[in-house]
Amino acid sequence: MPFTEQGAAAVAEMELPTNIKPKARRMPRAKREQQLQNVALQLFIEHGYQGTSMEDIASAAGVTRPIVYNHFGSKDGIYLSCLRRARESLDQHLVDAAKDLSTLEGRLQASVEGYFTFVEENRSSWHLLFGGGAAIAGTASDEASRLRFLTVEKITQLLFGVVKGIDIESCEAFAHGASGAGEQIAKWWLQNPHVPKQQVIELMNKFTWSGLKALQQP
């Protein structure tokens, strides 16, 4: 029996069995990784590292666990990928706005403004970096510490090039102190959101600039 146009139309109009579902379009790998990182970031913040499982991440992302493992290898892997992404964004805010300025005060003020802009625009990433609820250990903890020290090292190098008469050890100590102060002032600001960002920036600038001036030799 010939296959007529009417027959073709009839076949086209036939419903597929309900147990057959069309395959979902595969998401590009980079886009999938970004999606999984975004989902995992929120879960780590809401439930902590220990309270979040790979099954939780897969379920929230609408994928299977093997897909998450394929992209990141382990829970440590996806946690550290989120941490690296957040740390890279923070470093860009700290350094990019300040690196082309030639004066010490200009670099310091630009870094402070960049930091609190990061806090304002990237609350989730800031909480992952400084919230203190991750409870990680082992190699993941070591890597988290290494990334944090790299940020302090970048602050040191940013300031050391324009500070007069200060040794590298003093500059490193100042960078660590400023980093800790920035973390605590940001926590205070998040608990007092009515305070304008510019006021917070001015407070941090006064605190850090007075200390750095005292370290400089005439």
Q: How far apart are CA 59 and CA 89, in angstroms?
A: 27
Tens of pLDDT, residues 3-22: 444 443 443 344 444 444 44
> pLDDT per residue over 152-168, tens digit each?
998 898 888 777 778 88
Contacting residues for 101 by C-beta, under 8 A, at least 6 apart: 107, 110
Element (H, E) at 37: helix 29-47
Q: What is the pLDDT of residue 218?
A: 58
> Where are the chain's structural domains?
87-215
Q: What is the per-residue pLDDT for 205?
A: 93
Give the integer Cα–Cα distance in Å for 3 and 6.
8
Which residues lie closer than 8 Å to 208 by C-beta, 6 or more apart?
Answer: 108, 112, 178, 181
Q: Which tens digits make up the pLDDT trace of 195-205?
A: 999 999 999 99
The pLDDT value given to residue 23: 44
* pLDDT at residue 104, rounded to an integer: 83
Higher pLDDT, 185 or 168: 185
Selected residue with higher pLDDT from 212 and 56 = 56
Q: Which CATH superfamily is domain 87-215 in?
A: Tetracycline Repressor, domain 2 (1.10.357.10)
* The pLDDT of residue 186 is above 90: yes
What is the pLDDT, as a whole number, of residue 97? 76
* pLDDT tens profile 18-40: 444 444 457 888 899 999 999 99
Q: Which two tokens stand for residue 207?
A: 């605190």
User: Residue 75: which pLDDT band, with cuts at 50, 70 and 90?
Assistant: very high
pLDDT (0 to 100) of residue 89: 94
DSSP per residue, 53-102: -HHHHHHHHTS-HHHHHHHHSSHHHHHHHHHHHHHHHHHHHHHTTTTT--
The whole-number pLDDT of residue 200 equals 97
pLDDT over 70 at 69, yes or no: yes
pLDDT of residue 20: 43
pTM of structure: 0.79
**Separation between Cα atoms, residue 94 and residue 104, nearest integer Å:** 14
- Rounded distance between C-alpha atoms, residue 51 and residue 45, angstroms: 10
Instruction: Please write the tens of the pLDDT for every residue from 103-155.
Output: 888 888 999 999 999 999 999 999 988 876 556 767 778 888 888 899 999 88
